[in-house]
Each structure stands twice: as C-alpha cells, then as structure tokens.
Amino acid sequence: MGNIEKLESLVIDLLKCSKNDLKDENGPEQIPNWDSITHMELVSKIEEEFNIQFEVDEINGIENFGLLKKILIQKGVKL
C-alpha cells in the first residue's frame, strides 16, 4: 500500500466517510464527522503513521484534504 492509500484509509476510518468524500476541496464543512476533536485525532494518527511532526500553524492550516496532502508533501512524504 502506497502513502496516498495509507492516508486515505486513515482519513476514511477516522472520519467515517467514503473515498468519494476525499476531494481536495472537501474539509470539515463537507465531511460531517470532521470536527475539532477528530481534527486533532487525525493529526496525531498521521504523525504516527508517517513519522512526522506538525507545527501549530500547519495543524491550523489543514482546512481541507488538499491542504493536508500539500503539507505532507512539504514534509517530505511522497504521495
């Protein structure tokens, strides 16, 4: 399983959404289970899975799935 599949699986499992929900422009407003608590759980799980550490401004900057992927790429994760 590649990194993008790992990320998608993690997000789908945690947010209880479908792969169709994982459009770059979709965030908490489009994915009902993406609230402040699951946002922090998502950050924690991603940090564990990809062995990275988010900065506070990066955590706050994850406004949708596309921005999440962009930040991961900036951190050296190959998606």
Packing angle, helices 65-74 and 3-15, rounded to 10: 140
Mean pLDDT over 52-68 rounds to 97
DSSP, res 20: G
What confidence tens digit (pLDDT) does each residue in 8-46 have? 999 999 999 999 999 999 999 999 999 999 999 999 999
Residue 56: pLDDT band by 50, 70, 90 thresholds?
very high
User: Is the CATH number of domain 3-74 1.10.1200.10?
Assistant: yes
Q: Which pLDDT score is estimated for 39?
A: 97
pTM, to two decimals: 0.94
pLDDT at 1 over 90: no
Strand, helix or coil for residue 24: coil
